[in-house]
């Protein structure tokens, strides 16, 4: 299940609501696998402890991002390569006044 969910995850830009949705999905799938319904009123922590799950899906995603180091791969490329241009390039124009969108590079800065 994890390999399908985390496919190409090292390139994702995660916001807090995405992390929350991933955790909710993971717990719903673990409950289905164990045959536990929401009516059974069992805490997520108890289910995770029973299944010996040490890291949730978001922690695995962050570890995977640092392990595969897509950033290092792109950073070592020649400057004329398209991924290098996208990572460090500048776009012309004006941005809106609302909150700036989170970029993939912002996720890397947080973890290093």
Per residue in 15-72, pLDDT (tens digit) is 889 899 999 998 998 899 889 888 888 888 888 888 888 888 888 888 877 766 667 7
- Pick from 66, 70, 64, 67: nearest CA to 5: 64
Q: Indicate the pTM of the whole model.
A: 0.64
């Amino acid at each position: 299940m994890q390999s399908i969910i985390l496919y190409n995850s090292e390139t994702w830009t995660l916001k807090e609501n995405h992390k929350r949705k991933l955790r909710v999905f993971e717990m719903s799938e673990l409950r289905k696998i164990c045959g536990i319904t929401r009516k059974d009123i069992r805490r997520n922590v108890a289910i995770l402890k029973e299944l010996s799950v040490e890291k949730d899906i978001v922690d695995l995603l962050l570890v995977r991002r640092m392990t595969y180091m897509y950033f290092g791969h792109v950073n070592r490329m020649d400057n004329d390569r398209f991924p290098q241009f996208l990572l460090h390039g500048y776009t012309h124009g004006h941005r809106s006044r609302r909150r700036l969108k989170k970029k993939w590079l912002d996720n890397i800065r947080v973890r290093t």
